[in-house]
Amino acid sequence: MVAAYPLRTFVDHHMWGGRGVFDTMKRRQFIQALATLPVASSVLTAGTSTDTVNASVAGRSRILPKGICPGSTIGIVCPASAANASEVKDFVDLCTAWGVKVKFGRNMSRRNGYLSAPDADRASEFMGFIEDPNVDAVVCARGGYGVMRILPMLDFASIRQAGKLIMGFSDITALLIAVQQISGLVSFHGPVASSTFNAFTVDSLKTVVDSSDPKRLTFSDQRLTTIRSGLAQGRLTGGNLAMIVSTLGTKYEIDTTDSILFLEEINEEPYRVDRMLTQLWLAGKLQSCKGIALGNFRDCEAKGTSITGPSFTLEQVFEQRIASIGIPVIYGLPVGHVKNKLTMPIGVRAELDATNKQLRLLEPAVAERT
């Protein structure tokens, strides 16, 4: 079993002065023994403030990961809930047609309650692929729940050094934001291996991540709704609304400074969306954005009367909570829990034209193939 790296670093360098005591112990027993101790990692310690994290990120150079192209190998991991081989068949078939090899993590098809495996096993599987020289990219099998539980067990310095493409959405949002902000590595809010891979999703994916011919994605659709017109440029960040709200007040909370923020959600009533957006507003996260791109918010319209009577529509919630901030806002971007799915590189500069209903990347998201 590959050890959870930050635990090893913490013990070797802080408890025993770097004498390598960890190597003489049984790794599994040691990780289990430390599971109840305060959070510690080689990058962040339990006493690190969010301001300190963001300050360190600001001075850290951004890294473009190696892209995916024919000949690449993708590791499929389960850092949250479980998936089985039949659920990822479409992705495997896509990779085969693309000339890309697939390597399955050992937690595929495992079950541990609503998780794929115990926390230490999931962290170890993920870091194992990060450290594996024969794996070029890491794609999460599915979301579900569980990524937040392993964040303190990941070695973000090693993730930065490896420079590998990491992709997923939904619950994986917390991992993607943490990776980009702490390691400086661009991460990818895109399909998981169990997603539907139709022509739209595949075209967007290859446009963004194919290192043999990196392009700058431009998406425009007149069916989008303009909540507030205008043009803005900024660093692209975002993902699932509930996950972003869940990390507020932690070392892993989102930094929206000078950003183009995209948000998506599924199966939440308008008042719940209102509550989460209000929490972001109270935390100052919405006000620090340059522009906001809202997703389709699938199945989030009211299904009847709300807890106190008739409900607002989602568009009314967006107008009340966001429009007054005075920045460009669009609604209906195909991200997250939809079949037609854009791949969004977190950390890359983008331009939002809410007036003309367009989002475009201003720079490639992966390093060119050498």
Q: Which helix (H) or strand (E) holds 54?
A: helix 50-58
pLDDT at position 368, please?
80
pLDDT at position 49, please?
40
pLDDT at position 195, please?
97
Domains identified in the chain and CATH numbers: 5-47 (no CATH), 73-197 (3.40.50.10740), 218-361 (3.50.30.60)
Q: Alpha-carbon distance 286 to 69, whole Å? A: 36
Amino acid at the residue 224:
L
Task: Give the phi and the psi of residue 125 in degrees, each rounded to 5.
Answer: -60, -45
Q: At what angle do helices 119-131 and 27-34 cross, to 10 degrees?
A: 120
pLDDT at position 60, please?
64
- 224, two tokens: 């989008």
pTM equals: 0.84
Report mean pLDDT in 10-residue bins for the chain, 370 residues. 37 34 37 37 35 44 94 97 94 97 95 97 98 98 97 98 98 98 98 97 96 82 97 98 98 98 96 97 98 96 74 94 96 96 98 98 88
Task: Count the Cβ atoms, other than its own, within 10 Å of residue 190.
Answer: 26
3-state DSSP helix/strand/coil % of the chain, to nearest 5: 35, 20, 45
Q: Alpha-carbon distance 347 to 209, whole Å? A: 14
**C-alpha closest to that of 143 among 194, 93, 187, 198:** 194
pLDDT at position 287, please?
98
pLDDT at position 310, please?
84
Find how far residue 40's CA is from the centre of its chain.
21
pLDDT at position 44, please?
36
pLDDT at position 308, please?
66
pLDDT at position 16, please?
32
- 24, two tokens: 């003489």
Among all residues, which ones are annotated catalytic?
170, 264, 337
pLDDT at position 214, please?
63
Q: Alpha-carbon distance 156 to 41, whole Å? A: 9
E strands, 169-302, are 187-189, 218-220, 225-228, 231-240, 259-264, 291-295
